[in-house]
Amino acid sequence: MEQKVLVCDVDGTLAESRQPICEEIKSELFRIAKEKEVCLITGGSLELVKYQIGKVPSGVRIHIMPTMGTQYYIIKGSKLTEIYREELTEEDKTLINGAFWYLAEEFWLDRYAELKDQLDDRGSQITFSALGKDADLKKKKEFDPKKKRRNCWKQYLETILPNYEIKVGGTTSIDITRKGGDKSFGLTMLGEHLNMNPRENFYYIGDKIYEGGNDDAAIKMNLHYLCVQNPEQTLKVLKQI
């Protein structure tokens, strides 16, 4: 890899949905981080990402961009530094939660879980997980593997919330942020922080690099990228960097 910055999605790329990153993959990330900048960008919350990556060795710096890059932190050893945090307003949250209520009514989604268990307010993003946040991983994988259901929900939500960013993420979820608050925004901010041109210096690895997927920033920004199928494939790629 000639690029100076390795950017990785988390769920589906480095780990199974909401699960810890395995020790082999963490070892490779920490090795690479000694020579290059490493950034994890995800729809998950800061708390979830910290749980997934675990302890970062002393002297290793990892850039963390939760909630689609609308938040940015740097972890170096045990120290966490906040760079920015773009919060939704209470009005935003009311509109988004209302739209999810209409979605659940229209598509009978309350048959899978209660709405309170489906919604996750992450500050700068609200996520709807159809089976609930803590559903069984096997059931989540089987629910919508081709994303047909969620693409339909996304189209419905776009008619209600035309001024917000709506992405298909994870295995059962829909992520909503403010307009422009997608991974393109986060990676642009990362480039500014590092004083680097993302197109020339970033290499992106993700499992949803397609139009409308939550890794489509790689396409929009014309980055060097690789679309993977699972964490096992990612591990093979990391070993070659």
CATH number at residue 149: 3.30.1240.20
Shared domain check, 103 and 80: no
pLDDT of residue 197: 98
Shared domain check, 96 and 81: no
Range of 20's domain? 5-86+181-239
Shared domain check, 72 and 14: yes
Shared domain check, 197 and 125: no
Shared domain check, 191 and 137: no
Whether pTM > 0.75 for this model: the answer is: yes
Q: Is there a contact between 127 and 154 (Cβ–Cβ < 8 Å)?
A: no
Domain boundary among 130, 155, 178: 178
* Ordered per-residue pLDDT tens for the chain, 241 residues: 999 999 999 999 999 999 999 999 999 999 999 999 999 999 999 999 999 999 999 999 999 999 999 999 999 988 999 999 999 999 999 999 999 999 999 999 999 999 999 999 999 999 999 999 889 989 999 999 999 999 999 999 999 999 999 999 889 999 999 998 889 999 999 999 999 999 999 999 999 998 888 899 999 999 999 999 999 999 999 999 9
pLDDT of residue 26: 98
pLDDT of residue 212: 80
Q: What is the CATH number of the domain that holds 232?
A: 3.40.50.1000
**Burial 12-26, CB ≥16 within 10 A → b, else e:** bbbbbbbeebeeebb
Q: How far apart are CA 206 and CA 209, in angstroms?
A: 6
Shared domain check, 130 and 67: no
User: How many structural domains comprise the chain?
Assistant: 2
